[in-house]
Structures are given as C-alpha cells and as structure tokens.
Amino acid sequence: MDNLMLDGGFADPVMQAQQGFRALMDALANPGTLQDLALDLTPPAPLTPELAAVLLTLCDHDTGVWLEPDLATEAVTGWLRFHIGSPLNVAPEQAQFAVLRDSNALKLKHFSPGTDIYPDRSTTIIVAVAALSGGDALVLKGPGIEHSVEISPLGLPEDFLDQWAENRAQFPRGVDLLLVADGAVIGLPRTTRIIGKDA
C-alpha cells in the first residue's frame, strides 16, 4: 500500500482520540460552544483535518460511514480503511456517520432519524463548513443551554432552519449534527431549537 495512504494519522492515537472524544462530547452536551479538535494529522485531500479528526475519534470497524461522493476518492477511502477500518459508502439512510465537505448540499432527511424504540440508531452528520463564524446569526435554545447561545456558521444551506425544524419535530428521533472548521467543532443535537436571530 502506498505510504501516502498510511501516513498522516494521529501521532499518539490513544491520547489524541481521548482528547477528540472529550471535545465532541462537550460540543454535543453544550450546543453552540466552540470546542478545539486534536488536529495533529494530515489526511489526503479533499478530506479536511477536522473531518478526519472526528472520524478517527468516533469510528471503528463496526461503524458504517457514508462519504459525500466528492470525498470518496481512492486516496481518502484507502487512508480511512487503514486508520479506522470502517465500512465506507454504506447507504445514507443506513450510515451511523455521514461526512460532507459541501455544506450547501446538506439534506438532513436523507439520513436515518432512528426509530421511536431505538432513537440512538440515527445518523450523526459531520459537516465541513466554510467557517464557524461570519454567517447569518442563529439563536440556539434547549437542553445544555442556560438561556440562549448565538452562533453564525458560514456556508449552511438557505433552507437549513426549515430542515432543522422538521428534524427536531421528530424527537426522540432525529439526526445530530457536528459542524467543523478552523480546527474546532460545534455540536447541534436534535434537541436543540434553532431560530434566526430576527425571528
């Protein structure tokens, strides 16, 4: 196997995976807060370090992963198979994790919301956005938020608020979202209410 497919993973897999796991759990437990990711890795393009960090932290050989078609290059799939061993490019509605580099292509309804009996069988969607600030202001409310939190990720689709309202209405079913950029992550669990700042 080409060394380019092997190099560039976590230098200290145990320690860095633990750091990444804490960051991701904190992001979902405290929606809207910025959490640093362990980014001492260099995955093959077009997979970003942030997307790679989440996958290396959360996935293993039992984890079904759907990759956006533009991400599913030979170099990326070879690198991920070596580092996490996950089945790649399972159907979107069967994926435990879905990975998108083009945030404008995000369609929450294409992924599994779980079931009423097993809501934990839903998809967690990991989305690379252009930036975690600089976009339209969004106000978050709900569990894990004392009053409200404001975020402004750049690059979400125009109908994101409608998509999210539909997703949240399915509770306890629904997808969870991880937005990544700039070496950090913001978590948006299905329980979070998201409205436009001027709504």
- The per-residue pLDDT for range 30-80, each reduced to its tens digit, is 999 999 996 778 899 999 999 999 999 999 889 999 999 999 999 999 999
Rama region for 89: left / alpha / beta (φ>0; ψ in -120 to 50; rest): left
Band (pLDDT 50/70/90 cuts) for residue 177 is very high
pLDDT at 195 over 90: yes
Distances (CA, A) of 168 to 7, 134, 153, 182: 40, 25, 19, 27
The string of DSSP letters for 32-48 reads T--EE------PPTTS-
Query: What are the structural domain ranges in the chain?
Result: 3-196
Residue of 92, 104, 103, 117 whose CA lies nearest to 175: 92
CATH number, domain 3-196, options 2.60.40.1220, 3.40.50.720, 3.20.20.140, 3.40.50.11310: 3.40.50.11310
pLDDT at position 89 is 78
